[in-house]
């Protein structure tokens, strides 16, 4: 979750407004396979124009971002520290990297699940070639598989669930041969509770500077 801070710090340009692609509401467990070989499990909730990602916390743990809420309709991004009952609100285009990143999961062009991965690779100076290679079943759900190859030697695959309008699995292999990715499991389609995407009344809003102090244990409160 601390990588969120790096993305936030990089999002300094004023860019046009963004709207997320639509699809059914659902919840799922997101298994994230990191480049270190470790697996992390997070909880994903996708609502109507909003989404939430939760990381499991340990008892007594403080100073860690545990939840991320994206409100696409109002262009808000919230970083939550539940153990500290605090949150940071990112306004408008300051969170544009998060909003555009959401298109990698729920593509704007459902007929081409790679449609948003290709321009994202272009922005990184990499040419990505992507093609649909067939249909499979993952966790009991029919999906379409797409294979991709990059000019820098990296390659991978993604599996797109057209019923959800969501990419439910990604496997990436870097040019060094290191594998990473994610997979959604225990998918449950249905309306999500509205309070999942709202800030609790007893939370206190604070600035990015205070967030930095809290995470680095620097500064005074």
- The 3-state secondary structure of 39-92, one letter per residue: EEEEEEEECCCEEEEEECCCCCCCCCCCEEEEECCCCEEEEEEHHHCEEEEEEH
pTM: 0.79
Q: Examine the pLDDT at 103 and tell me if it is beyond 80.
A: no
Say which CATH topology domain 103-181 has: Double Stranded RNA Binding Domain (3.30.160)
What is the mean pLDDT of the segment spanning 11-37? 69
Where are the domains positioned within the chain? 1-14+21-98+191-221, 103-181
pLDDT bin (cut points 50, 70, 90) of residue 14 is very low
In the chain, the percentage of residues whose pLDDT exceeds 90 is 38
What is the mean pLDDT of the segment spanning 63-75? 81
First to last CA, the chain: 23
For residue range 109-166, what is the model confidence (pLDDT) as tens digits?
778 888 878 887 887 788 889 999 999 999 999 999 999 998 888 999 999 999 999 9
> Cβ distance 51 to 205 under 8 Å?
no
* Edge-to-edge strands, sheet with 26-33: 128-138, 141-150, 155-161, 166-173, 179-189, 26-33, 39-46, 50-55, 67-71, 76-81, 86-91, 204-205
3-state SS assignment for residue 28 = strand
What is the mean pLDDT of the segment spanning 175-197? 94
């Amino acid at each position: 979750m601390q990588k969120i801070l790096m993305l936030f710090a990089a999002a300094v340009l004023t860019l046009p407004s963004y709207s997320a692609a639509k699809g059914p509401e659902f919840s799922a467990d997101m298994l994230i396979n990191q480049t270190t070989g470790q697996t992390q499990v997070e909880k994903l909730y996708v609502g109507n124009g909003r989404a939430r990602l939760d990381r499991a916390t340990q008892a007594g743990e403080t100073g860690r971002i545990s939840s991320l809420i994206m409100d696409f309709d109002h262009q808000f991004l919230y970083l939550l520290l539940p153990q500290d009952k605090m949150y940071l609100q990112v306004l408008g285009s300051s969170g544009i990297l998060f909003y555009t990143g959401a298109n990698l999961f729920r593509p704007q062009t459902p007929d081409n699940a790679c449609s948003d991965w290709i321009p994202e690779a272009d922005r990184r100076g990499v040419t990505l070639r992507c093609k649909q290679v067939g249909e499979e079943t993952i966790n009991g759900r029919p999906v379409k598989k797409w294979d991709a190859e990059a000019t820098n030697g990296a390659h991978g695959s993604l599996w797109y669930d057209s019923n959800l309008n969501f990419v439910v699995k990604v496997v990436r292999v870097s040019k060094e041969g290191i594998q990473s990715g994610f997979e959604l499991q225990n998918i449950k389609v249905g309306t999500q509770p509205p309070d999942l995407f709202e800030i609790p009344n007893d939370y206190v809003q604070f600035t990015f500077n205070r967030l930095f102090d809290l995470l680095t244990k620097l500064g005074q409160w």
